[in-house]
Amino acid sequence: MTENYNYRIIIQNGGLKLEKFYVTTPIYYVNDKPHLGHAYTTTAADIIARFNKFLGRDVFFLTGTDEHGQKIQQAAEKRGMTPKEFVDALVPKFKELWEKLNISYDHFIRTTDPEHIKAVQYIFKKCYENGDIYLGEYEGWYCIPCETYYTEKDLLEGKLCPMCKREVVRVKEESYFFRLSKYQDKLLELYEKNPDFIAPDFRRNEIVNFVKQGLKDLSISRTSFTWGIPVPINEKHVIYVWFDALTNYLTAVGYPEDTERLNHYWPADLHLVGKDILRFHTVYWPAFLMSAGLEVPKRVFAHGWWTVNGEKMSKSKGNVVDPFELVEKFGVDQIRFFLFREVSFGLDGDFTYEKLVARINGELANDLGNLFNRTLSMLKKYRSSIVPEPKGVEDELDVKLKNKALATVSKLKELIPKAELTKALDEIWQFVSFVNFYIDRRAPWSLNKEGKEELDRVLYNMVEALRFITAFVYPYMPSSAEKMVEMLKLDKKAESLRISEFEEWGGIKPGIELEKGGILFPRVEYNPKTGEVSIAKTKKATK
């Protein structure tokens, strides 16, 4: 960052320098409609983007589609379409899903965008001029569906792809190569000096071991198909999928021409990826960037994979979980919550309807929904729904509640930007449980008889705790947080809440009249035979 640049940002924000946060999802292949795996990474990025906005940062949240390659060319041909017609027809399905999931992306990039084509050709030339790209010949085992070359020893018995277990073919062609071997030591140094670069930790070790085994130069162009970005110095070749795809992260922030924008947002703060594509992001990508004279991203976080009832999701098994259907049946926030609560973000996990229903009923309906309902009902019963002045002397438990709320703010600030989404949600739930415990211990129903002042203070604390909870759950469950904001009559929308309003206890103004109660998360019943979901008969709000 140059001094000049700092000055410009200061001026732009009327005297306040906003810290930026640039977060990305992988760009998805558009050879089929989106599934649960796609929904997973994109929702994670959305949670992180929303939380960073809450921190007051200038967030840039990027998602998009990866549209080139042989697989797409073949799929289009099968349907008698051009590749462009084919991808144009599928892209809206992704955008529709992001709308259904409440994804607040700032830009949707497509690798067929003209500015992306320009950026890829530019970075190719840059690496070529730096002596890192040369023409050679590639011969190898190639899996067409996975668009991946394999060495003999990687293959399963019977010459099968280790990823999809389908037959691979022998391919020999002229190809441009990237001198990845030259970057081995530089990459190891990068991992050594930046322990945060690859997360979770156990994945870092996998990558370090892989690089230590020795890196081969990488084939980055093809002559065997045409659906790709032409190599700028040789139109017989198209650029192979990863060199094209990874560059999307640069295109979206103005590379190469808009240096002002590029200097502002680059390097990316966080690339979120699935474990299967971590190697591309932490070995190839930093090497390409180093070659082009650009900074490497600050962090790459790999999440695990979802199975369904213990099995890998696959079209042939017919067990692919459709995120549209999930949202339709259970509600968007219920799904967003479940994905990060059920399975520790970073590890593999298993999806079942039973687990989903148990989380919705046990944690959303009971722990959280009922907490709002019981608090507002007591406020109605004892104080006609008017927030009282917190009177009397605070005791140990009151102080504990307040301190816990403030400590949770600090913990979330530390965890969420690092993509520790399940740990952060654990913290939030510990607070929710503590507020329920506080209510049970204080027993407002008994204070009503003897401790009028104390009851004022307890009710005030209960409502103030709900204000904190609204901010805590907002990134995970933005539409429920909007409902909470209305129930608590906060003077702004949940998306406009900022951390500065949560640095002290006592933001709720005494004297305002709140809603009388209400159901945030209805209990659900699921019929595994028919797949039907119905709203369970609501239990009466308990104390």
Near ligand MSP in 269-298, by CB under 6 A:
273-274, 276-277
Binding-site residue total for ligand MSP (CB under 6 A)?
19
For ligand MSP, the closer of residues 29 and 138 by Cβ is 29
For ligand MSP, the closer of residues 162 and 274 by Cβ is 274
Smallest distance from the beta carbon of 347 to ligand MSP, in angstroms? 11
Smallest distance from the beta carbon of 306 to ligand MSP, in angstroms? 4
Instruction: State the greatest distance between any 2 C-alpha atoms of the chain, in Å, as a whole number.
Output: 88
* Beta carbons within 10 angstroms of residue 151's beta carbon: 9
Give the pair of three-digit tokens for residue 168: 């691979």
Near ligand MSP in 222-251, by CB under 6 A:
245-246, 248
Q: How many contiguous H segments (helices) and E segments (strands) does the chain have?
A: 21, 18
Smallest distance from the beta carbon of 219 to ligand MSP, in angstroms? 17
User: Is residue 29 part of the contact set for ligand MSP (CB under 6 A)?
Assistant: yes
User: Is residue 163 part of the contact set for ligand MSP (CB under 6 A)?
Assistant: no
User: Is residue 81 part of the contact set for ligand MSP (CB under 6 A)?
Assistant: no
Find the part of the chain contacting ligand MSP (CB under 6 A) among 24-32, 144-152, 420-428, 500-508.
Answer: 24-32
Find the part of the chain contacting ligand MSP (CB under 6 A) among 20-28, 187-195, 480-488, 534-542.
Answer: 20-28
User: Is residue 72 part of the contact set for ligand MSP (CB under 6 A)?
Assistant: no
Smallest distance from the beta carbon of 294 to ligand MSP, in angstroms? 16
For ligand MSP, the closer of residues 162 and 392 by Cβ is 162
Written as one letter, the residue type at 215 is: L
User: Is residue 350 part of the contact set for ligand MSP (CB under 6 A)?
Assistant: no
Q: State the helix-helix crossing angle for 421-442 and 370-383, rounded to 10 degrees.
A: 30
User: Is residue 110 part of the contact set for ligand MSP (CB under 6 A)?
Assistant: no
User: Is residue 313 part of the contact set for ligand MSP (CB under 6 A)?
Assistant: yes
Q: How far apart are CA 535 and CA 393, in angstroms?
A: 43
Smallest distance from the beta carbon of 349 to ligand MSP, in angstroms? 8
Q: 496: Cβ–Cβ under 8 A, 6 or more apart, which residues?
A: none
Q: How far apart are CA 46 and CA 24, in angstroms?
A: 9
Smallest distance from the beta carbon of 336 to ligand MSP, in angstroms? 15
Tell which one of 41, 43, 73, 112 touches ligand MSP (CB under 6 A).
Answer: 41
Smallest distance from the beta carbon of 48 to ligand MSP, in angstroms? 15
Tell which one of 22, 26, 75, 341 touches ligand MSP (CB under 6 A).
Answer: 26
Q: What one-character-per-residue DSSP string does 240-268 give?
A: -HHHHHHTHHHHTTTTTT-HHHHHHHPSP
Q: Are 499 and 428 in contact (CB under 8 A)?
A: no
Contacts by 511-514, CB closer than 8 A, 24 or more apart = 511/386, 511/387, 511/389, 512/386, 512/387, 513/384, 513/385, 513/386, 513/387, 513/489, 514/376, 514/379, 514/385, 514/386, 514/387, 514/463, 514/487, 514/488, 514/489
Query: What residues pair up with 160 in beta bridges, in sequence order?
Result: 156, 167
User: Is residue 91 part of the contact set for ligand MSP (CB under 6 A)?
Assistant: no
User: Is residue 40 part of the contact set for ligand MSP (CB under 6 A)?
Assistant: yes
Smallest distance from the beta carbon of 148 to ligand MSP, in angstroms? 10
Tell which one of 210, 225, 305, 429 touches ligand MSP (CB under 6 A).
Answer: 305
Find the part of the chain contacting ligand MSP (CB under 6 A) among 33-41, 135-143, 511-519, 526-534.
Answer: 33-41
DSSP assigned state of 71: H
Find the part of the chain contacting ligand MSP (CB under 6 A) among 26-34, 113-121, 400-408, 463-471.
Answer: 26-34
Using alpha carbons, select from 506, 501, 374 the residue that is nearest to residue 437.
Answer: 374
For ligand MSP, the closer of residues 110 and 411 by Cβ is 110
Tell which one of 21, 22, 28, 288 touches ligand MSP (CB under 6 A).
Answer: 28
Q: Which residue is it, tokens 């085994």? A: 213
Q: 62: Cβ–Cβ under 8 A, 6 or more apart, which residues?
A: 22, 23, 24, 25, 105, 106, 107, 109, 248, 249, 252
Find the part of the chain contacting ligand MSP (CB under 6 A) among 34-42, 132-140, 157-165, 190-198.
Answer: 34-42
Find the part of the chain contacting ligand MSP (CB under 6 A) among 10-18, 37-45, 251-259, 448-456.
Answer: 37-45
Smallest distance from the beta carbon of 97 to ligand MSP, in angstroms? 13
In the chain, helix, strand, coil percent, each to 5? Answer: 50, 15, 30
User: Is residue 22 part of the contact set for ligand MSP (CB under 6 A)?
Assistant: no
DSSP assigned state of 160: B
Smallest distance from the beta carbon of 119 to ligand MSP, in angstroms? 13
Using alpha carbons, select from 489, 479, 472 the residue that is nearest to residue 521.
Answer: 479
User: Is residue 94 part of the contact set for ligand MSP (CB under 6 A)?
Assistant: no
User: Is residue 369 part of the contact set for ligand MSP (CB under 6 A)?
Assistant: no
Kindly tell me the sign of the dihedral angle through the C-alpha atoms of 252, 257, 261, 264: positive
Q: How far apart are CA 67 and CA 91, in angstroms?
A: 9
Smallest distance from the beta carbon of 342 to ligand MSP, in angstroms? 13
Residue 307: enclosing H or E segment and its boundaries? strand 306-308
Tell which one of 22, 306, 340, 526 touches ligand MSP (CB under 6 A).
Answer: 306
Q: How far apart are CA 222 and CA 217, in angstroms?
A: 15
Which residues are at the interface with ligand MSP (CB under 6 A)? 26-29, 37-38, 40-41, 66, 245-246, 248, 273-274, 276-277, 305-306, 313
